[in-house]
A and B are shown apart, each in its own frame.
Chain A
Amino acid sequence: MSWAAHQFEVYAVEAHLPKKMVGQVSWFAIFFGDFTPDFLAKFWVYGFNFHGKHYGASKPYQWHRGWPGMGISHTLFFGILCCLGIWAWKHNRAWTIGFLLGFSAHVLTDVNDSIGTMLLFPFSTLNWSLHTWAYAATVKGGKYLDAASYYSSLGFAMDFFWFIVVLGSWRVLTRDFWRTKVVPADPHVWSWLGQWLDERGLVALYRSVFFYGVCRMIAWTTWAHIVARPVIDGVRHQGYPWDLSWTGPWWVQHVSLPHVTPLIVLPAALFLLGCVYFVANTIWDRMESGSIRAIAWRNVRRNTG
């Protein structure tokens, strides 16, 4: 799984929208799209302890990304179903397309760990994984071992890569960008929030996901390599050892699910990313009439109600 990369993706997607969608796709929708897969699946991955008993998945990796399990929450198929639901409910293309882009970013980024995602579900339940780093969520190790493993492996490089991508598009974090590109796409939500927060607070809210990404990356890395004193193979270490090799770190047990050959995963993921942008770009204009009709009907209902 990816950690802060998912926070940075939200801004990377916002900064790299197709030209005709700039200032029209909801930032909240991108955020919720990116956030939904883990929101649905991750709580039970780590589980919780109550009265000395652990409640959670017995095989976290199977539950998180596999089938049967909640692996469906990390499939493009499920993202499309959510988008159809949003469109049927609100007829709002800003939210539908935003959710699609955010969700796709999450699903495609998660092919990097040793479990990967079921990219072609429901046609195939095989997982697509690049095995870039080891999936480390275990019942015994919980969240801490998962974090230590991720921030000792190429997962750290992945977070840093996305951090650089956002910094390369730094304008996306400016107040001016927020005013001219983010607020117009979601005027009602920002206006509603404006009842309590002034502009500084609203801009802080917009930047808060990036802030959280940066801070969690620094905090977990610091904890894992400076504060923690793990015992690995009977030897006490000062901090978890770094291992930036493929499928690292070595000190975590490698788990995987039935998967396709890793050689075809990167081209397939890039192809699917291209498909998502192509479809979004194609249906964007067609969705306009539906959005206008929905707004017109809403106004009629308000006036006659």
Chain B
Amino acid sequence: MSEPTRPTPPSPESEPSNRSAKKAWVPSKWVDVVLYITAGVTYIGFSIWNKWLLDWIVGPAWLVAWVWGVPALYNLIRRRPVRPRRNPIEAEAST
């Protein structure tokens, strides 16, 4: 007698196309690295000539705005969700 096989979760490819199209774009690890480096280069570049930017509020805010804001902006332009999804129920309701 063979053991009952466990149902496998559907692969992303098998999901309906309209649903996957609404998923937010999540940058890969390398895109993350690029975002951090560009955040650093732009912040240093601007702040050398505009020293008021070298401030404990502007500095941290610059990184968050760049690393989180750029992908969020991309998602916003593509009309994809920007705000984090709190739980599966809410996520289901919003799709």
Contact of B63 with A204 in the complex, beta carbons under 8 Å: yes
Contacts of A205 in B (CB 8 A): 60, 64
Query: Which residues of chain A in 182-239 are interfacial with respect to chain B, using CB atoms and an 8 Å cutoff?
Result: 194-201, 204-205, 207-209, 211-212, 214-216, 218-220, 222-223, 227
In the complex, what's the smallest C-beta–C-beta distance from B75 to chain A, in angstroms?
10
How many residues of chain A have a CB within 8 Å of chain B?
27
Query: Which residues of chain B in 36-95 are interfacial with respect to chain A, using CB atoms and an 8 Å cutoff?
Result: 36, 39-40, 43-44, 47-49, 51, 54, 56, 59-61, 63-64, 66-68, 71-72, 83-84, 86
Contact of B40 with A208 in the complex, beta carbons under 8 Å: no
In the complex, what's the smallest C-beta–C-beta distance from A7 to chain B, in angstroms?
8
Contacts of B51 in A (CB 8 A): 143-144, 219, 223
Per the bound structure, the CA–CA distance linking A222 and B64 in Å amounts to 24
Contact pick for B48, options A35, A196, A204, A227, CB 8 Å: A227
Q: Identify the interface centre among A195, A207, A212: most chain B CB within 10 Å of its CB.
A: A212
How many residues of chain B have a CB within 8 Å of chain A?
27
Contact of A222 with B84 in the complex, beta carbons under 8 Å: no
Contacts of A144 in B (CB 8 A): 51
* Chain A residue at minimum C-beta to C-beta distance from B67: A204
Per the bound structure, the CA–CA distance linking A208 and B56 in Å amounts to 10
Contact of B47 with A219 in the complex, beta carbons under 8 Å: yes
Per the bound structure, the CA–CA distance linking A197 and B67 in Å amounts to 11
In the complex, what's the smallest C-beta–C-beta distance from A262 to chain B, in angstroms?
30
Per the bound structure, the CA–CA distance linking A205 and B65 in Å amounts to 9
Contacts of B63 in A (CB 8 A): 204, 207-208, 211-212
Taking A144-B51, A195-B83, A212-B59 as given, write out 7 further A-B residue pairs in contact, using a Cβ cutoff of 8 Å, ordered by the A residue number. Answer: A199-B84, A201-B68, A207-B63, A208-B60, A211-B43, A215-B40, A218-B44
Q: Hey, which bits of chain A sit against chain B, CB under 8 A? A: 35, 143-144, 194-201, 204-205, 207-209, 211-212, 214-216, 218-220, 222-223, 227
Per CB-CB distance, the 3 closest pairs between chain A and chain B, nearest first, are A212-B59, A201-B68, A208-B60
